[in-house]
Chain A
Amino acid sequence: MKLDGKHLFALARGTLILLAFLYAGNAISSLLRLPLPGSVLGMVMLAAALHLGVVRPEWVRPAADPLIRHMSLLYIPPGVGVMAYFGVIRREWLPLVAAGVVGMVAVMLVVGRLQQAMERRG
């Protein structure tokens, strides 16, 4: 990626739009005491703004695309945070691991199969 003035401006504009939607989402979520994080609310509002043409895709893409492409990187620090709880995990490892595995597999199979079946029946 070239970082000349034009690209830098596009990156800054995209980042500022994402941050504006994030903080608007946070504010609405806490004002209305919604059980949803502001980021998810911001995602829906951004899609709505793009749909209504208030925001243009090419304004956000320079910042949105790399963030989405490297989302795994952003989950590394909270993932490493698991090490801080090795003590609790060691004491109750069996129910924790079993509940995690069973729940994950059950949700994935049920949602995937059910959704596919309903789509086919159309």
Chain B
Amino acid sequence: MGDAAAAPLAIVATVLVYAAAQRLYTRVRHPLLNPLLVAITALIVLLESSGVEYGKYDRGGRLISYWLGPAVVALGVPLHAQLHEIARRGRAMLASILVGSVVGIVSGTLTAIVLGAPRQVVLSVAPRSVTTPVAMGVAQKLGGIPPLTAVLVISTGVLGAVAGPTLMRLAGVRSRTAWGLAMGSAAHGIGTARAVEQGEVEGATSGLAIGLMGLATAILAPPIVALLLSVFAAR
């Protein structure tokens, strides 16, 4: 891949792979064939096998992911359309998210400590279930490794988008607002991208959950992680 052609080639490849993955998913509706998962895997294989570094691919890639900012702002439209449905359940949502944030920080951090992860890795795991910019900021403050946190955030999001719907069907979560809230709080923006496919209520609640979860975790993660580390003293 020539230097000048790198960005346009990366954009074309990403869009084509995405379109193909979407088409595959409409034909074979299997959760493992989630278009995002398929597209990421295909592009990684493509880059690894052709020896193209990620940095070179990302010259075009960042022109695509730039639009994540405006896309999150755009969620204000379904949020406004569903404002009435959401406001009625506002207090319950705040409570669920607060509990969910604590559960997320404690479960992730404890798992990493129990499995003997070094301190820096434990600190990178803690803010895992929130949107990337918040998670990286929290990891920085805690003394973790921000890029490692970013990787975890993305993987967790993809896992949530792929396994979430099945998980919630098994758990009997049928309320549309509860479904969206769970998706956004466990899998942030990537879960929200899946939730908007489900419907406007799910998409709007999921988008709101990104913000609430990010706020709760940014405030709660530092004291909780400090407490857990002092009790379970990681390496």
Main secondary structure of the interface of A (DSSP, over half): helix
| Distance A102 CA – B111 CA, assembled complex (angstroms) | 7
A99 near B155: Cβ-Cβ < 8 Å: no
A79 near B40: Cβ-Cβ < 8 Å: yes
Q: Is A84 among interface residues, defined by CB-CB distance under 8 A?
A: yes
A70, A75, A88, A92: residue with the most chain B Cβ atoms closer than 10 Å? A75
B121 near A43: Cβ-Cβ < 8 Å: no
| Distance A115 CA – B80 CA, assembled complex (angstroms) | 21
Closest to A21 in B: B73
Given A71-B192, A75-B193, A108-B168, does the pair A81, B150 have CB atoms closer than 8 Å?
yes
Minimum Cβ distance to chain A for residue B29 (Å): 15
A100 near B70: Cβ-Cβ < 8 Å: no
| Distance A57 CA – B131 CA, assembled complex (angstroms) | 26
Cβ 8 A contact of A47, one of B48, B76, B181: B76
Given A75-B157, A96-B121, A107-B186, does the pair A44, B76 have CB atoms closer than 8 Å?
yes
A103 near B69: Cβ-Cβ < 8 Å: no
B178 near A112: Cβ-Cβ < 8 Å: yes
Q: Is A27 among interface residues, defined by CB-CB distance under 8 A?
A: no
Residues of chain B contacted by A31 (CB below 8 angstroms):
none
B76 near A83: Cβ-Cβ < 8 Å: no
B107 near A103: Cβ-Cβ < 8 Å: yes
A19, A51, A113: residue with the most chain B Cβ atoms closer than 10 Å? A113
Main secondary structure of the interface of B (DSSP, over half): helix
Residues of chain A contacted by B107 (CB below 8 angstroms):
99, 102-103, 106-107
Chain B window 25-65, contacts with chain A (Cβ cutoff 8 Å), 1 for yes, 0 for no: 00000000001100110011001100000110110011011
A119 near B74: Cβ-Cβ < 8 Å: no
A76 near B74: Cβ-Cβ < 8 Å: no
B177 near A115: Cβ-Cβ < 8 Å: yes
Residues of chain A contacted by B100 (CB below 8 angstroms):
107, 110-111, 114
Closest to A84 in B: B54
Chain B window 134-160, contacts with chain A (Cβ cutoff 8 Å), 1 for yes, 0 for no: 100110000001011011101111111
Given A18-B73, A71-B71, does the pair A83, B47 have CB atoms closer than 8 Å?
yes
Q: Is A3 among interface residues, defined by CB-CB distance under 8 A?
A: no
A67 near B173: Cβ-Cβ < 8 Å: no
| Distance A11 CA – B136 CA, assembled complex (angstroms) | 32
* A residues with CB within 8 A of B: 15, 18-19, 21-22, 25, 35-47, 49-51, 57, 60-61, 63-65, 67-85, 88-89, 92, 94-96, 98-116, 118-120
